[in-house]
């Protein structure tokens, strides 16, 4: 029992103005059940199942504009209809005492013409395509167009607050638009948004600045996956990129930085690697969230060793709506079913993962 009481990942934590009762965060998880890019009532149950009093939830990636989409039925937050549709979902989380951040997103070149207005080319920092049949050749944004995209993030953040979210997470990870600008494998620009490290980070930082001005830096998080190479977005010097971003984000005094572990270099599979987030954690002044392959034991260890303040759980939380409770009790976990991650069914693989039968574990 003594061990249970000292489970570090279940200790309270003050993140800025938010009093969290534990450190187990719902990682952002795309579920593709927002028909026509509009959040649906079934998301009320899905998110409220995963809500605990004082727990932090991050929403699935949510598009900032009509060019932001690259997958079927992912939600948006650029229209009035979408904002109104989010409201009851946010209310359901708040009714159970949860803290809910909206992850705002633009896929950039990870799209194809069928998702784009008027069948136009997806936009990016580059005109180089991602390898693979799913993606259309992108159109390189001109320098003059970039402020409009930054403004789309600003407006999406405003809309998220209007919908009732407690804050936003800027999705700068996993090979999407912001990551395309950050990484030298994807960014081949020669203007002030490409070339040097400072220039490649400019887009991400201008978005952070715009969103912070709009809703307050104390409500802004940024997610990065500097070590990953998803969607042909790798970097030749991820440590330098991570340190530069952490130090630059300090200038805006944002609420948190959310980093994906280097061991998640490829999607879904963990690999042993010598790299570590620790220097970046040390360089960043505010709350540091880690994600990527965390279990009960190593999540606890990360917090105990001060390598993270909070730990985001993705697939385990997807399959275990009562994950914090299961971690507390060291109860067995439901296995996730990859085949139902992205199906449109409003129930199957979504809200039908069983809760613990507490009578059996008491």
Task: Supply the minimum distance, in Å, between the C-beta of residue 161 and ligand FMN.
Answer: 20
Task: Supply the minimum distance, in Å, between the C-beta of residue 354 and ligand FMN.
Answer: 19
In angstroms, the CA 354 to CA 105 distance is: 30
β-sheet bridge partners, residue 312: 25, 291
Is 230 annotated as catalytic? no
> Catalytic pick from 13, 135, 176, 350?
176
Which is closer to ligand FMN, CB of 61 or CB of 89?
61
Helices and strands per DSSP (H, E), number in the chain: 12, 13
Which is closer to ligand FMN, CB of 99 or CB of 189?
99
| 356: its two tokens | 């613990």
Which is closer to ligand FMN, CB of 126 or CB of 316?
316
Would strands 24-26 and 310-313 be described as parallel, antiparallel, or unpaired?
A: parallel
Q: What dihedral do alpha carbons 191, 192, 198, 202 form, nearest 10°? A: -120
In angstroms, the CA 294 to CA 333 distance is: 13
Chain residues in the site for ligand FMN (CB under 6 A): 27-30, 60-61, 103, 171, 173-174, 223, 260, 264, 291-294, 313-316, 341
Task: Supply the minimum distance, in Å, between the C-beta of residue 169 and ligand FMN.
Answer: 8
> Containing H/E element for 313?
strand 310-313
Task: Supply the minimum distance, in Å, between the C-beta of residue 91 and ligand FMN.
Answer: 22
CA of residue 158 relative to chain centroid, distance: 18
Which is closer to ligand FMN, CB of 252 or CB of 341?
341
In angstroms, the CA 135 to CA 82 distance is: 26
Active site residues: 176
């Amino acid at each position: 029992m003594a061990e249970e009481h000292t489970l570090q990942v279940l200790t309270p934590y003050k993140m800025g103005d938010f009093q969290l009762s534990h450190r187990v965060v719902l990682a952002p998880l795309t579920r593709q059940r927002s028909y026509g890019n509009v959040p649906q009532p079934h998301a009320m149950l899905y998110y409220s199942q995963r809500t605990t009093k004082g727990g932090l939830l991050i929403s699935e990636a949510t598009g900032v504009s009509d060019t932001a989409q690259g997958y079927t039925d992912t939600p948006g937050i650029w229209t009035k209809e979408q904002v109104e549709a989010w409201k009851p979902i946010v209310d359901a989380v708040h009714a159970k005492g949860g803290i809910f951040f909206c992850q705002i997103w633009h896929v950039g070149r990870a799209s194809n013409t069928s998702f784009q207005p008027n069948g136009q080319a997806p936009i990016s920092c580059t005109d180089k395509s991602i390898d693979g049949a799913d993606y259309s050749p992108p159109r390189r944004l001109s320098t003059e167009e970039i402020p409009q995209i930054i403004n789309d993030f600003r407006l999406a953040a405003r809309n998220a607050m209007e919908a009732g979210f407690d804050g936003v997470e800027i999705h700068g990870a996993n090979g999407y638009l912001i990551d395309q600008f950050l990484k030298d494998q994807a960014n081949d620009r020669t203007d002030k948004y490409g070339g040097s490290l400072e220039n490649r980070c400019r887009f991400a930082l201008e978005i952070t600045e715009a969103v912070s001005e709009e809703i307050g830096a104390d409500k802004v998080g940024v997610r990065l996956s500097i070590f990953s190479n998803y969607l042909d977005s790798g970097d030749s010097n991820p440590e330098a990129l991570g340190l530069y971003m952490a130090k630059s984000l300090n200038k805006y005094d944002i609420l948190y930085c959310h980093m994906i572990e280097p061991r998640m270099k490829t999607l879904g599979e963990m690999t042993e690697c010598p790299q570590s987030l620790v220097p970046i954690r040390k360089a960043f002044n505010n709350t540091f969230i880690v994600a990527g392959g965390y279990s009960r034991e190593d999540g606890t260890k990360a917090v105990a060793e001060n390598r993270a303040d909070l730990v985001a759980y993705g697939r385990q939380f997807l399959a275990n709506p009562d994950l914090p409770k299961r971690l507390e009790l060291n109860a067995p976990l439901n296995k996730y079913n990859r085949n139902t991650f992205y199906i449109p069914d409003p129930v199957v693989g979504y809200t039908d993962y069983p809760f613990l039968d507490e009578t059996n574990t008491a």
